[in-house]
C-alpha cells in the first residue's frame, strides 16, 4: 500500500494547483463534497436517534476522503475519465480532507463534552432506540489498557456503548 500511494503522489502535477482555475475548483469540490457528506451523516444520525451535534460529529469523522478518493482518482485517470488537472484536484482534495479531519473532529468532540458537562439540552450520549443499533448484539468488549490521558475518552465511549448493551468489559 505505501508504494501505491507513493507512486500516485509522483503522478500528481502540483504545478496545476498554481493555476487559479484549478485551485478554485479544488477548493469548491472540497467544500461541496464535504457539505454533502456531512449533510448525509446528519440526516442519517437524526433518523437513527442521534442529536444534531452528535450527527454533525459523525459527519466530520466521515469526511476524510483519503485512500478511497485517491484510488478512485487513479482508476479514473488510468481509464481516461480524468484529465491531469482533475486527477490533481481529486488527489489534493483527498489529502486535504484527510489532513483537516482530525482537528475538526477534536473540536467537535470538545463541543460534545462541553455540552454534556454544562448540562445542555443535547447530551453526547442521548438514548436512541436500542432496537436499531448494531451495538445491542455486543456481548463482550475488549479494551486495551489506557493511560490517564485517555481515560476521559474511554469513559465517554463506555457510557455511549452502555446505552445499548450490558456487555462484559475486559481490560487487556
Measured CA to CA, the distance from residue 84 to residue 82 in angstroms comes to: 7
Integer angstrom CA distances of residue 6 from 9, 24, 37, 44, 109: 5, 25, 27, 35, 32
pTM value?
A: 0.62
Continuous segment of H or E residues that includes residue 110: helix 84-118
Say what the pLDDT of residue 124 is.
Answer: 45
What is the secondary structure of 37-99 as a DSSP string?
Answer: HHHHHHHHHHHTT--HHHHHHHHHHHT--HHHHHHHHHHHHHTT-S-HHHHHHHHHHHHHHHH
Say what the pLDDT of residue 153 is.
Answer: 72
Tens-digit pLDDT string for the chain (172 aa): 678 878 888 888 889 999 999 999 999 999 999 999 999 999 999 998 888 988 999 999 888 878 888 899 999 999 999 999 999 999 999 888 888 888 888 888 888 776 655 555 444 445 555 555 556 666 777 766 666 666 677 777 776 666 656 667 676 6
Radius of gyration of the chain (CA): 20
Say what the pLDDT of residue 84 is.
Answer: 92
Measured CA to CA, the distance from residue 138 to residue 158 in angstroms comes to: 12
Measured CA to CA, the distance from residue 127 to residue 124 in angstroms comes to: 9
Say what the pLDDT of residue 39 is.
Answer: 95
| All cell numbers assigned to 115 | 455540552
| Cross-strand pairs, 142 | 170
User: Which of 146, 134, 135 is closest to 171 using CA atoms?
Assistant: 146
Amino acid at each position: 500500500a505505501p508504494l501505491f500511494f507513493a507512486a500516485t503522489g509522483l503522478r500528481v502535477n502540483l504545478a496545476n494547483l498554481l493555476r487559479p482555475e484549478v485551485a478554485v475548483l479544488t477548493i469548491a469540490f472540497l467544500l461541496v463534497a464535504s457539505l454533502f457528506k456531512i449533510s448525509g451523516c446528519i440526516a442519517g444520525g437524526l433518523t437513527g436517534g442521534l442529536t444534531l451535534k452528535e450527527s454533525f460529529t459523525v459527519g466530520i469523522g466521515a469526511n476524510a476522503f483519503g485512500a478511497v478518493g485517491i484510488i478512485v482518482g487513479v482508476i479514473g485517470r488510468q481509464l481516461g475519465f480524468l484529465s491531469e488537472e482533475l486527477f490533481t484536484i481529486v488527489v489534493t482534495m483527498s489529502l486535504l480532507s484527510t489532513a483537516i479531519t482530525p482537528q475538526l473532529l477534536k473540536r467537535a468532540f470538545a463541543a460534545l463534552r462541553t455540552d454534556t458537562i454544562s448540562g445542555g439540552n443535547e447530551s453526547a450520549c442521548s438514548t436512541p432506540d436500542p432496537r436499531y443499533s448494531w451495538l445491542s448484539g455486543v456481548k463482550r468488549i475488549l479494551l486495551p489498557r489506557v493511560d490517564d490521558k485517555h481515560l476521559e475518552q474511554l469513559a465517554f465511549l463506555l457510557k455511549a456503548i452502555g446505552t445499548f448493551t450490558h456487555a462484559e468489559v475486559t481490560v487487556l
